[in-house]
Structure formats: structure tokens, C-alpha cells
Amino acid sequence: MSNDTNVDDPPEDASDARPDENEPERQGDRSPLEEDGDRHNDVDDPIEDFDPASDEDDPIDEFETPSDDEDDDIETVEDLGSTVEVDPGVEVDEEIAEDDLLGGLKIDSTEDIEVPDRLVDQVIGQDEARDIIIKAAKQRRHVMMIGSPGTGKSMLAKAMSQLLPKEDLQDVLVYHNPDDGNEPKVRTVPAGKGEQIIDAHKEEARKRNQMRSILMWIIIAVVIGYAILSPASILLGVLAAGIIWLIFRYTSRGSDAMVPNMIVNNGDQRVAPFEDATGAHAGALLGDVRHDPFQSGGMETPSHDRVEPGSIHKSNKGVLFVDEINTLDIRTQQKLMTAIQEGEFAITGQSERSSGAMVQTEPVPCDFIMVAAGNLDAMENMHPALRNRIKGYGYEVYMDDTIEDTPEMRRKYARFIAQEVERDGRLPHFTDDAVEEVILEAKRRSGRKNHLTLLFRSLGGLVRVAGDIARAEDKEYTTRDDVLQAKRRSRSIEQQLADDYIERRKDYELQVNEGGVEGRVNGLAVMGEDSGIMLPVMAEIAPAQGGGQVIATGKLQEMAEESVQNVSAIIKKFSDVDLSEKDIHIQFVQAGQQGVDGDSASITVATAVISALENIPVDQSVAMTGSLSVRGDVLPVGGVTHKIEAAAKAGCTKVIIPEANKQDVMIEEEYEEMIEIIPCANISEVLDVALMGEPKKDSLVDRLKSITGTAFDQGTVGSAGGSNPSPQ
């Protein structure tokens, strides 16, 4: 086996596990048909003039050593770097770059933007991961990438295969073993030689079969002629001829079995192999041996012809990519770990009941670079030894979900659109205002002020839908209107369900957006990832039948129940009512089967309960979202942009959000005139906006200000950037 594996320190006894005489065969120095000793005793050499170990007689030396011209064309990793020219040949106005959505790019459409040829230069926003991939390709290190789907993990893995050298690729041949048919022999040769070796074997087998056929027909003719000329029966002569024909046919199978089976063919490979083994079963990943129903009588398929390579063997000298690696069976992960360490792995039948389980080849080279990927939960179910193997001989990198919004990044996003158009091949290029609209959507999807999303798969889906709309109308370019229409058409299932749910509630007048109602507050929530919905909360005070308690309905999850308890602490602190004699009933109206999770309804619950206790109506034109501390501080939450838009769609004119979430608001232009956004830092500010009835409200708010905390004013509560806002 070749010694240049990607394992730095293989075990010292790894080479002692096999006899030394087997080594030249796996290094490709000699053919099994040319070996002296036991391997040569029972096998005739079918190609006497072909010696792959000889430099003088080898007719295909050009596959071994690239010419000087080819060396000049090979780009090394040193030629690459972290800096990527994103807009070659395109004018950039640096004076307006900071405020311009295109980062100062002077283009009419994405047709003016040049797309880099190298895949590694097309990666956007993952600079750390990109640099690690370049280093790992140079040093042949393993990499594990963890992050959300659609952040570019598979693209980086493919880019890595393009950075690896390609001149040392190999073909792998499997030969029949005359000593033991269930242990086929393995031979590696330089890429391109495998086909010529097989052709030579086939030609020699054809010549032998031809000679045997001639001999067979001569014998048959003699037998039949003798039967005709002699007094013997002609029928006996025909029977004898048939027996002779069967004998020759049976014995000729041995000649065909001498033709090797090429399980890995890299003759046409121009870059290092890349194998995506995501979701592969054990046989597809580790190799397998096909089942043979005919195992006797001369009709069986030779075992070496039934050998099938796995992804680990096809990726030899290249990259093996496995996404969602934690979904692999634990035994498969153990075997994969062995393949990584040894750089070779024998192929055997993966099914214990199959006849292929009797066959096991000699070790087959699998000197690959492992690129594992997955979400955060991938590390929990991943075999610890396999992860340790990757980490010990490589890198671990976390893929970012968002990146800071800078002029350079905006220019890269414009190039991303150009890349998607070119990769698809059927979409019209995007005009400058269409590109601006996509970048605005990237800002919205980031969920953070001054950031852009790095979930490019979903963003690329928006680009393709917009392009399809323009193409259906036979437009020369994709315009902003097409992008806006695509945003409506490319809604997620959750968004479609939420919109349908909102429309049905309007039909039954379940939403109230005007007047004042005691104990009823328009809360806001998020369904899925990007679907805002208005969720009313009602509170009622009733005499207790025993000790007073807080009773909440609406299929609350654990975090929501805890938020209700936090709210009850504030109520007990300020209320003059003896709560031991009262039951507080809280209802999340039509929370649905999924119930309520998260604590973003805390200020909604507090406002509803206080309104019910004090008999002060709540302004129904106000909607709100926010978490609440036990001291009365309004804490940041997630999804404020989608919640604000949901309030506007429901007809509310004001929306209360946490002060810390001001920087996260990126609503569509059409909603800016429809609703007033009011940031609040304390529950007293919330009540001042939400409650109606000036005398009683003013008295309540003044009393509440004197007893609730002022953590925001004292700077003891972190900003949204340092918080972990709830998604609900």
C-alpha cells in the first residue's frame, strides 16, 4: 500500500498485520499474474510482453509523469488566499459604498459581474472555514464543519477536492486468487493504466478462447466424421460431440475469470475525487460483495467480479464528504474510523446472510481526506473516537449563520446572485434594483441589525423563483417586481399556514383591533422560523375555592409556564388585592395544537392580569411582545420583525417591543406607515402605552414605577447582542 496516507502516525504494528510478500502487489510494482512463488504456480501469464514494473516495456508511461507544460498549469495552494476579488472589471464608488445597497458597485445587471472559476473563490461569508479548507488541503488534514443547513458546507468540501494534487491518482484492480477464490487480490496502478491492463487481459483471453474454440470444433468434426464413416451409431457421435462442447464451455470459464475487475477508475479524472456519502448505507460507504445465487456447478460468478467499491475507496487520494454524520450506524462509524487510521480497508459482504459475506479482499487503498458535517446535534450522536480521530488529525470549524453588513459583503452578495444565475444556466440576469431587493431580504433574514444571513440555500431559492417568474414572462432581465412576487410565492409551509390561520380568524372576527377591553391583550408570536401571528391573551380574576393560585391554559410549554410564574411575582409585589383569596385565570386564545413555547408573551400576560385586577381596559389597537424579569424589566426576544408585520396585518396601529430589540427591526416599507413601533424598557412603560382610562391608569403607573426595578437604566441588563432571545 502506498505510504503517503493522511494519517500522520499510524500504529507501528500496522504493517506487521500482513506478510511482507504482499506489499509489492498493493504498491502496483508487480502483477499477481507475474508473481513468483505460490501466486504463480497455478496461473499462466496471459500477457508476457506487458510488465507494468518495467520502465522500458511500459507502453503507457505518459500516465505516470506529467509533462512540464502540465506542471505549469497546475495551481498550488500557495496561489490562493483569503482575499477574493469580488468585482473584477467593475467600477466601485467608494464614496457611496457605505450607504449603497450594492456596496458602491456600478452595474446595470449581474451580467456585468465576473464569476470566479475556482469554487473556493465563490464561497461567501465563511472566511475562517475557507482558510481552514485551504490549509487542510495543503497539509491533507481532516475537517469537521458544524452549522445550520445551507451555510456552504458541501460547497467547501467540493472546493477542497479541487485544491488537492491530481497527478498521483490511482486505479484499483481486483484479481482472481487461484489459491483461495474467496480472497481476491488487489493491485493499484497509476490512473489510466487500469483500462489498458484490462484490455490486454481481455485480448489475451479472447485469443485463448479462439484457440480453444478452433480446437473444440476440430475434435467435434473428427468425432462426428468417425461416427459417420464407422458402423457406430450417428446418434452416439452427436452425443459425444455435445459432451465435448460442454466440457470446453465449462473449462473456458477459467480463462474469463483471469480478467481483473477494475473497481476504481480514475483514468478520466482531472481533479482529485470527491465522494458525497451523505446517508449512505454500510455497503455503499465501505464497499460490498454482490450476492451470487449460483455458487456451484461452474455457473457461479467469480468472487473478484462481484466486488463493489465503497465511497471510501472511490475517494482515495481525494475527499470523502459525509453530511449529518451522526445518522451513520455506530458500527459503520467504527469501521470508518479504522479506514481513516489505516488508509486501507478490505471489502467484504455487508449482509451476514449473503454469500458475499464469505468473500474478503485484500486491503484496498482508501487514503482520503474526511470532511464531516452536521448540525449542532451531530456532535451528540457522533462516535467520540471518530470525532477524536478527525480532531486529532485536522480541524473543527463552526459555520456562521450571519455576517456583519459591510460594503464588501454587499458586493459579494451581488456576486452570489450572478453565481446562482450562471450555475442554473436558464435564469435571466438580475437588474441592479432586483439585486438590492435580494440584499434587503438577506438583511431581514439575518434577524440582526447590520448583519446579513449566510443561509444561502434558502436565499438561492428566492433567486431561482424570481428568475423563473421573469423567464415565464420572457423578460430579458429579472426585475425588483419579480423578486417581490417571488417572496410571496416562496413562502415556507409555516408562513402559508400562518397566513391562512390569520385569514380564517378574520372571518370569525376573533381579532379585535379597536376599542378597550379589560383583561384582553393582543400578544404576538412566531410560527416556525419566519411567520408572525397575533395571539390574544385573556385574564380573569375569580374568588378562590381554596388557596389562591395562577391557572394558565393554552397548552403551555415549560418556558411559557415559568414566564407566567415570573409575572405572578410582579403582580403580588404591586397589588393591593389579597391574592390568597383570588384565582387568576390566564388563557392563550386559540394557541393551537403546538401550544405556546418561550417567554416572549410575559409582558402580554402581565398587562392582561393587571388590567383584570384593576378593572382598567386595554387598548386593542396595541399589540406587544417581550420577556419580563421578576423586577419588571422588559427583556429582548426573537422574531420582532415578523411579529411587527403580523400586528400591522391584523390592523393594529401600535406595537410594543423591548428597547433592546430596536436594532433588530427590519420591516418591509409597506408596513412602515401602517404601524407605530414603541420600544419599552420597563413594565410601567408598557402599561402607560397599553392601558386606557387616564385617572386610574396614571395612578397605577406611578405606583408601579416606584416599586419595580430599573435595571435597564442602571445598565445591568445586556443588549440583544449578548442575550439569548426567545424565538416565540
Type of residue numbered 483: V
CB atoms within 10 A of CB 589: 16
Give every CB contact of residue 333 below 8 A, 6+ residues apart in sequence: 325, 382, 383, 386
| C-alpha span between 492 and 500 (Å, rounded) | 12
340 in Cβ contact with 315 (< 8 Å): no
Type of residue numbered 137: A
Catalytic residue among 185, 193, 412, 643: 643
- In the block, which residue shows the cell 464614496? 95
Type of residue numbered 527: M
CA-CA distances (angstroms) from residue 120 to 46, 131, 409? 47, 10, 16
Return the C-alpha cell found at 625. Answer: 411582545
CB atoms within 10 A of CB 15: 12
* Dihedral, 104, 108, 114, 120 alpha carbons, nearest 10: 60
* Dihedral, 679, 681, 687, 688 alpha carbons, nearest 10: -70
- In the block, which residue shows the cell 413594565? 683
| C-alpha span between 27 and 116 (Å, rounded) | 38
The DSSP element (H or E) to which 204 belongs, if any, is helix 193-229
124 in Cβ contact with 456 (< 8 Å): yes
Exposed/middle/buried for residue 58 (C-beta within 10 Å: 0-12, 13-18, 19+): middle
Angle among Cα 558, 563, 565 to the nearest 5 degrees reads: 100
453 in Cβ contact with 401 (< 8 Å): yes
| C-alpha span between 562 and 555 (Å, rounded) | 13
CB atoms within 10 A of CB 270: 8
136 in Cβ contact with 126 (< 8 Å): no
197 in Cβ contact with 191 (< 8 Å): no
Strand 364-365 to strand 344-345: parallel, antiparallel, or no bridges (unpaired)? antiparallel
Q: How many residues are recorded in the chain?
A: 728
CA-CA distances (angstroms) from residue 350 to 354, 357, 502, 706? 8, 6, 53, 74
130 in Cβ contact with 156 (< 8 Å): yes
Type of residue numbered 373: A
528-557 burial, b if ≥16 CB within 10 A, otherwise e? bbbbbbbbbbbbbbeeeeeebebebebebe
The DSSP element (H or E) to which 582 belongs, if any, is strand 582-588
335 is catalytic: no
685 in Cβ contact with 624 (< 8 Å): no
Catalytic residue among 303, 600, 602, 621: 600
Q: Which residues pair with 535 in a beta bridge?
A: 523
Runs of H (alpha helix) within 479-522: 480-489, 493-507
616 in Cβ contact with 691 (< 8 Å): yes
3-state class (DSSP) for residue 131: helix
User: Residue 563 — left, alpha, or beta (φ > 0 → left; ψ -120 to 50 → alpha)?
Assistant: alpha
643 is catalytic: yes
Catalytic residues: 600, 643
